[in-house]
Structure 1
């Protein structure tokens, strides 16, 4: 069985880790391909930083900081302190020393002429991730946020302002010139099931879908496409995703996010959708709208709970 997951950073990493646990336990012949958002990527202090790819790699390798949810465990920050002393980089965007090693290695390989997908393959050989990790594109596509105080990179809006400045809109710079990374369309077209992780619908999944070639592959694939809601009981599970949703006129509501993606039968994305049990009242309306919907527990409290979510998604896919 070929499983493909579209995912963002921390939430996507937790979901993929649970899916991997399910596959290892119950479906040892299944293969997982993860297509990761690259819209958060940026150049900083001369280094190419890829936050979502790194969150996925570290979490699957078991070397991530579980308490913070991002970065490496056991970090020190001496190099970042030195950069701040020199007035280089963003003092509020602290990169740990181990993490900087990843960024230096990536930048070196990119400057040697390797595309990002080849760099990711090279870096991930260090650990047995149990999945194939692909960037959505090899091209530089960076998300910027329009605010009343000007336009800034998404990471500045997210980390420095904590999304407190109302977003007036999002720009995926370079997206019109980008193409899907090698292996991305092929993975989607060859999938048995495509899963949309409970990641930010606007700046994570939305950016992936905006890469030319990705949506077209999703429209053409024979695989059922099933998503899991990142909103439970009217609140985002993690982060400030509600600020992103409100900026594009979508309510912070499990049913509203499903309708934002749309029913595949009506030109949208989804064949199926999972909501949490507290949002069970959304099931009937979404199903009537062409999106087969079930209510199951969606709190990713641990790998077992997340594996149960993944199993529910595969069960829904099998019923299509």
Structure 2
């Protein structure tokens, strides 16, 4: 079986790790990863979502924090703060910084982000192919109440989404093209899965890249997994992101945000949590193939079970 996942962040990393556990050695996993979170900081290029998924699949991630490397130290960040360089509230671990330096060096040598992701992935037997959604730089910006414009990482990490967002933008995305192999991975998959990642700033930028929605329209089957359980976000501040675009924090509202393929959207099937089973009849009445499924990914076994449910016809 060939499975392609659209993903970003911790939710995406946990789902892809579970998917690898659910599939066999002859199956193929491709992950189209959000790059809207990317940024330049202290002269190096950071790709947080790619790194989170890479580290999780390699088994070297910090499972307590949910991001970065395990057994991390932060001497370099302390030295940067002493120099007044970078962002004092954005900590780069020393091992993580090694990844950023390697990436930046290869980019300056002329490699594309797609080629860099392939080179980084070769270090460990991760069991999946990671594809940046685009090789263009389309960092997410947040317009907050009052008109100020911040990089997404400043709004998310420094302010913890406490400043009311009124819009999100990815400058240059209209002219971007899908990363190498992305369209083929979508159209050639037996099933495409939208991971339970932030629908606005993780999945949203992927869907904005010209050509990706068209590719999803040509896909065999597209399944989405709700990132909302019992009317609450699983992790992070996705509720603040949804509020900014006028979408309720509920599993059915996120389903309608993505839309059914039969009605011009992107999904064929939508998985909701057992806690949201009461929402299923109304969605079914609208024509959704909606399935009620345990969605909590609390350990490898539950993550694998969710992955199996997602890819089952």
Alpha carbons 1:48, 1:107 under 8 Å: kept: yes
- Work out which of the residue numbers 62, 66, 69 in structure 2 matches 1:69: 66
Kept in 2: contact 1:273–1:292 (CA 8 A): yes
Q: 1:227 aligns with which of 224, 231, 234?
A: 224
User: Which residue does the alignment assign to 2:311?
Assistant: 314
1:244 corresponds to: 241
Question: Which SS does the other structure have where 2:32 is aligned?
Answer: strand
In structure 1, C-alpha distance between the alignment counterparts of 2:112 and 2:287, rounded to whole Å? 39
Deviation at 1:86, TM superposition (A): 0.8
Whole-angstrom distance in 1 between the partners of 2:279 and 2:149: 36
Matches within 5 A, 1:31-110: 31-110=28-107
Deviation at 1:148, TM superposition (A): 2.5
Residue 12 of structure 2 corresponds to which residue in structure 1? 12
- Aligned residue for 1:152? 150
Matches of 2:263 and 2:79, distance apart in 1: 54
Could you tell me how far apart the structure 2 residues matched to 1:243 and 1:148 are? 13
Report if aligned partners of 1:138, 1:179 keep a CA contact under 8 Å in 2: yes
Q: Deviation at 1:9?
A: 1.1
Cα offset, 1:285, TM superposition: 1.5
> Structure 1: where are the runs of 5+ without partners?
none
Q: Distance in 1 between matches of 2:231 and 2:93?
A: 34
Q: TM-score, normalised by structure 1?
A: 0.96
| TM-score (normalised: structure 2) | 0.98
Match of 1:271 in 2: 268
Tell me the CA shift for residue 212 of structure 1.
1.0
Aligned with 1:168: secondary structure?
strand
- Distance between the aligned counterparts of 1:312 and 1:148, measured in 2? 41
Matched residue SS, 2:170: strand
| Alignment correspondent of 2:180 | 182
Which one of 114, 132, 135 corresponds to residue 132 of structure 2? 135
Question: Unpaired segments of 5 or more residues in structure 2?
Answer: none
Contact 1:263–1:289 (8 Å) recurs in 2: no
Partner of 1:213: 211
Hey, what's the Cα distance between the residues in 1 that align with 2:245 and 2:193? 23
Q: Over residues 266-293 of structure 1, what are the superposed CA-to-partner deviations in whole Å (9 max), with x where a residue is unaligned?
A: 0001100000001001111112222201
- Taking only aligned residues, the RMSD between alpha carbons, in angstroms, comes to 0.8
1-side partners of 2:186 and 2:309: how far apart?
20
Shift of 1:71: 0.3
Between the two proteins, the alignment pairs up a number of residues equal to 312
Between the aligned partners of 1:42 and 1:68, the Cα distance in structure 2 is 20
Q: Deviations over 1:106-155 (max 9, x none)?
A: 00000000000000001110000000111000110110000125100000
Quote the offset at 1:303 in angstroms.
1.0
Moved over 3 A (4+): none
Residue aligning to 1:2: 2
SS at match of 1:312: helix
